[in-house]
Structure 1
């Protein structure tokens, strides 16, 4: 059984899968579950899933995470920069650094450890299972004045960068993502 589809935009678990190709109307009765007809032309990055709640489409983007990442950074803090937590994994140096800042001008508490192959595998699995590539660029909840802000950045060996961020709003598997980053750093990330 595959993982349950959770919308990266709104967090809903009500999702439909895309069906591509020429479907005869008589065959529609034989298709189980919710579906969206994707048409006859299948693009390389065509979506595989659509949220039934907000209509966000995802799942077609592919990213080789096995050998292309050079650095991973994730950070959370309150809206004023207090209580900041940062995890940085450097694939080339083979280090993982956990930093905790009490305030924006404070000296951070820093822990550094070896970024083992097991930890690299855990991070890659976490990014894949969390549907990181399908997260929208920025999540916002403007109804909350204070709260938490976050960002996640992947830097690649070819110089490209993917950044995702948010303020008081999170992607569908955010709690899972934070739990796994806490395991990775052997410290709390939330």
Structure 2
């Protein structure tokens, strides 16, 4: 994987093979950040990266100037890798080892952008719990967005606060908003 833009543009990050992850493809990540670039100033936002895995999305935000980033993953190996990589690049990424759902149940901070990249094999019920907890616990700023990455085979359009979806190759991003 590589960082697409910003201070660390074109830097490659090689994750250990033993991590239980499926990193977002560079093509999909580039498409996602083109959308976000039209709505946010990255140096002014707070970001929550759920099911962070390798930290791929967190690194992209940090490279683009975001200073307030929390990466959550339940795998200790992923957390250690994100810490090692972000320290090496001097990126302001805070990591939390936790199950994403338990984190959402207890969180009290608000974010401009919440990105969730759960396992593609999740059931619709598991996927639906993400926006349910985010909006129930008021974790998004008024103008914020929740983005859930999933496969094209999964349709999240009937979920609460769904706004729209964009696909890039086999990746799909569904956007959820307050209004």
Q: Which has the higher contact order (CA 8 A, sep 6+)?
A: 1
Q: Answer 1 or 2: which has greater helix percent.
A: 2
Scaled by the length of structure 1, the TM-score of the pair is 0.26
Scaled by the length of structure 2, the TM-score of the pair is 0.27
Larger radius of gyration between Structure 1 and Structure 2: 1
Q: Answer 1 or 2: which has greater strand percent.
A: 1
